[in-house]
Each structure stands twice: as C-alpha cells, then as structure tokens.
Amino acid sequence: MARAQRPKRSTQQGIQSIEVGADLLQVLSDAAGPVALKELAMRANMSPSKAHKYLVSLARCGMTRQDRVSGYYDLGPLALKMGLAALNRRDAVRLVAEAAIDFNQRHDLTVMVTIWTPRGPIVIALHNSSQLVVGNVSVGAILPVLRSASGRAFLAYLAPNMTRAIVAREMRVAAQRKGAGALSGERDVERLIQRVWSLKAGWTKDDLVIGLNALAAPVFDHQGAIVASLTVLDNTDAVDVDSPRSILPELLRVTDGVSRQLGFEPGNGLPLALRARSAEHRKGPS
C-alpha cells in the first residue's frame, strides 16, 4: 500500500494539529476499508503513538471509529455526515455546464450538455463554435437514443428498463424507414453498447446530421449513476472517434474531473449502473 501524498500546505498561519489530523482522515478516505494503527501511521508519515493520540480525539468528535474486535480504524459517523452534506451541495448540472463553457472556449468546438428525461436525452445547454456547424439542435431538443452520441451514452450507462421502451420505438421507426446503417435488432444494439463501453463515450458519424460527428462523454455521481453527458459536435476529424487527432481523450479527462467533483472516482472500477447492466447481460433473458 503506497504512502499517502500530503497536499501542499498554505503559507497562511493555521493550526498544525488540525492539519495532522486531516492527514489521518485522508488516509482513511483513500483506504478500501478499515486500517490497522501501524499501517495508518506509516501512510500518514507519523509514529503509531502519535497517530493513536490523534485518533482518540478524532473518535470523540465522531470523525473516526475503532472496531472493538479487530482494533482497526475507519471513518466515523460525523465524517459520513459531512461527506453526504458535501455531495448534496454539489450541483451536477452547474458543474457540467461550467465544464461545457470552458471546453467550448478552449477548443472552439460546439459543446452541449444533456440530461436524461422519460422522453430521452434533452439538451439543457448549447455553446456554438465560431463557425456554426449545427442548426437543427437547440436547448430543449429531445435527442434520439440510438442515433445521437448523447443518447448512446445514456443507453449504455442507464438501467435497461429506463431506455427499453424508447429503444423499441426507435427500432420500429428505423425498420419502417430501412435507412442505410439502421440498427436491425437487439444484437446490433448490444454491439453498439459494447462499443460505447470500450470507448467510454457515445459517438456518431453522420448518423444524426449528415457531415456532422459527435462525441458524448458521461458524467457520474458519487453512486456511479450517469447524471449528464458532455457532448462535442463538429465536422472535423477532431470529433471523429476513429481519427488519431480525436479530441476524445481530452473530453474524457474533463468529464472524469467533473465526476470526481461529484464523488465518483473513474479509476476505481466500473460505475454501479454499468456493473448491474453487465450482470444482467451475463445472466441473459429469463
């Protein structure tokens, strides 16, 4: 287990004992479960005797607790209460909207934010590039699930019962139109979902608007549930998922950062919704 990295201290005068206690809390927050005193002290870069004194005080405040059987330490009820309060005060839509504005200004690409509704993904923010590339999408527009990058992101990361009816309706319409490249059955939909999982994002190439590409990266909350999609649209290879110049890695870096602000750590495994969906697909139809 690697030693915790201590954050840089401010040059302003403070109370050192609080900062030392915070080091112990940081170690407990990063740990996968309860931690023994010796291991906890080593990761916090202090002696076990010193760590024990701080843990006693932190336990009295409810910030830590000690298991009576194993003697291991873990976060306490006050730490949990504070964590939940912080999460509840995070406005997911606001954070994603701010990220969209920043991405639009830095890359001069059209960027939009979508959230899920019972009717499908709805556009709640749209920031055009200096060269208008899309004219038939506006704030308030409901996007298709199968033919939009945003819709594909939600399709892959939502529970199947939330998208099943919309997918069935769109499949019926596609069958009637018999358009080129239209999905023809559940296997096609499953392959589409698998591709989204492999890319960690939804994508389209000429699917919704001819000559327009789109990439949609999901944003997850602290429980691993998708709460929004940050979508980039353009007619250049920067938004072509198969191009070596694709901006997808940068887009994922941004959305991963927003997810972290909401309490989800992308590097610590699959989102809960994705794990549940994977289990359902492994189980197969009942």
Kindly report, residue by residue over 82-130, the tens digit of the pLDDT. 876 765 566 888 899 999 999 999 999 999 999 998 888 989 889 988 8
Structural domain boundaries in the chain? 16-88, 92-283
User: What is the domain class of 92-283 according to CATH?
Assistant: alpha beta
Helix ranges, the chain (H) = 16-30, 37-43, 48-61, 77-88, 92-107, 149-157, 160-177, 186-199, 248-261, 272-283
Radius of gyration over alpha carbons of the chain, in Å?
A: 23
Kindly report, residue by residue over 145-163, the tens digit of the pLDDT. 998 999 999 999 998 888 9
Nearest to 62 by CA among 33, 14, 25: 25
Say how far apart CA 123 and CA 134 lie, in whole Å. Answer: 13
Say how far apart CA 130 and CA 18 lie, in whole Å. Answer: 49
For the full predicted model, state whether its pTM sits above 0.85. Answer: no
Domain 16-88 has CATH 1.10.10.10: yes
Kindly report, residue by residue over 215-263, the tens digit of the pLDDT. 999 999 888 889 999 999 988 888 888 888 999 999 999 999 999 998 8
